[in-house]
Amino acid sequence: MNKDAITQMFSPDQFRETGYQLIELLAEHLEQQLSGRGNVLNWHEPVTEDKHWQQPIPQQANLDISGLLDKLKTEILPASLAIHHPHNLGHQVATPLPIAALCDLVAALTNQAMAVYETGPSATMLERQVLRWLCELIGWDTSEGVLTSGGAQANLTALLAARQHSADWNVWQEGLSAHSQLCILASEHAHYSIARAAGIMGLGSNAVIKIAADQNGRMLLDALNAAHSQCLLENKKIIAVVASAGCTPTGSIDPLREIGEFCVANHLWLHVDGAHGASTLMSQQHKHKLDGIELADSVVWDGHKLLYMPATVSAVLFRNAKASYAAFNQDASYLFNSGKMETEAFNVSYRTIECTKRMMALKLWAAFSLYGLEGMASLVDEGFAKAQLFAEKLAAQPDFELLMQPQTNIVCFRFTGGVETTEKFNQAKIRNNIVQSGEFHLTQVELHSELWLRTTLMNPFTSGSDLDELIESVRKHSGH
Ligand SMILES: *Cc1c(COP(=O)(O)O)cnc(C)c1O
């Protein structure tokens, strides 16, 4: 290929022209989704789709940018889950703020590698600023942390730090063998990434001891207490207690102050998985639900959920700044012994699994700068109020059952048809029918062997009448 062709690949003029066209196309796409036109999902069986999308590797250049944009418009976007559609009520995935999407474009073009300060000076500083804001909302002042790609990875990072802190030998260097058994106490509703982290850490997923929750999905202190005593009896070493704020199935928030006080009294590391619900701290109206979170040793907080960011951006935060280095202790020991702490601390790679990572802070920093805490909190308040509204609507239907009053923005329910035996109606089938019809997107959750339909109210443009329509849609697709 000649030099001109390569120059053309990087042409600023081409970038500008295509960029304008792309933004025009995406703005129309956003407009259409927000207005609720079209299906929330154009369902096709994945095996069929898999055949349709296969093509040989393109050999020659054809430079047909308009063809590419056309493909985006006619095939790629229509085969995407319409995330901004008011009928998209399934997962805890943000309807991203458009300004944040633009920031991600900046992150992509500037490609700051972030591992060390000099590969992203402003990216590093923005990250530190955003982390300070989040710590302040928790109620911590000299704490530190790091942004990572997703809550699952953030949970693993926090638990690695907890293990390093709690074991009385250097686990990183000496491994696990020949020492007392390590375990984690977590709510029965803890996210699967906790068990997965235990597996990755070589503890075995059985090392996660499940603590029973009450009817409202909140961890029972008595059960925690009992599990703690049992571990002492069996000579097991607890590396962390994991509380959820809120938990994935129902959005329930564990009693953080009680759990925190228990952990303080028993010298246990408290990890709060706030991937979903830590954003509640922004809301004047709802932040009391997280009372006691400041007692945590580590907190995970997802930006791509209730901070309305595009995926992925998650924070893992440590009350004790030094503990933020504990997860990857082998490198950090160099840090603390080299006398270079002051400058080395700005190299974020000491605190993450990732080496190269995306400039994730810009979008969060921009959203807070533009909309303020007040604006960001209004998104949370909006979602919580809508969950409340939906719960009221469901409770008023004779043929529906509400699992529990929502504590955040997740509402679980099922169709009973007004009869006693709910098994008569196959909730999974109802859900499949609805999802494949493209009318709504919702999820399901199994709790104590019973299946519930599950909605997450994340989209500020979902209206009361959309929720009425969903109720009708469930009736229609129940086959009765
Ligand atoms: C979403 C979620 C996770 C996983 O986070 P990802 O960002 O999807 O990796 C972990 N814990 C809880 C409570 C969650 O809601």
Tens of pLDDT, residues 144-160 = 999 999 999 999 999 99
Q: Does the pLDDT value for residue 271 go beyond 90?
A: yes
For residue 190, the CA-to-ligand 1 centroid distance in Å is 10
Residue burial 105-143, b: 16+ Cβ < 10 Å; e: rest: eebeeeebebbebebbeebbebbbebbbebbebbbbeeb
Determine the Cα–Cα distance for residues 357 and 183; give it in Å rounded to an integer.
30
User: Greatest CA separation found in the chain?
Assistant: 75
Instruction: Name the residue with tokens 């790679």.
Output: 349
Question: pLDDT averaged over the chain?
Answer: 94
453 within 8 A of 414, measured Cβ to Cβ: yes
As given in the structure block, the two tokens for residue 137 are: 């909302």
Distance of CA 234 to the CA centre of its chain: 35
- Protein residue closest via CA to atom 12 of ligand 1: 275
As given in the structure block, the two tokens for residue 166 are: 């709690």
Using CB distances shorter than 6 Å, the residues near ligand 1 are: 92, 150-152, 155, 191, 193, 244, 247-248, 273, 275-276, 302, 314
Q: What is the pLDDT of residue 331?
A: 63
Question: Which residues are within 8 A (CB) of 421 and not within 5 positions of it... i.e. 6 or more apart?
Answer: none
Domains parsed from the chain with CATH numbers: 105-368 (3.40.640.10)
As given in the structure block, the two tokens for residue 163 are: 């293990």
- DSSP 8-class letter at 399: T
Q: Does the pLDDT value for residue 37 go beyond 90?
A: yes
Query: Can you count the helices (H) and strands (E) in the chain?
Result: 16, 11
For residue 33, the CA-to-ligand 1 centroid distance in Å is 25
Q: Does the pLDDT value for residue 66 go beyond 80?
A: yes
Probe residue for ligand 1, chosen from 159, 242, 273 as the CB with the greatest number of ligand atoms within 8 Å: 273
For residue 246, the CA-to-ligand 1 centroid distance in Å is 10
Query: Could you read off the pLDDT of 327-347 as tens digits, one per residue?
Result: 987 666 666 667 776 777 888
Determine the Cα–Cα distance for residues 97 and 290; give it in Å rounded to an integer.
25
For residue 151, the CA-to-ligand 1 centroid distance in Å is 5
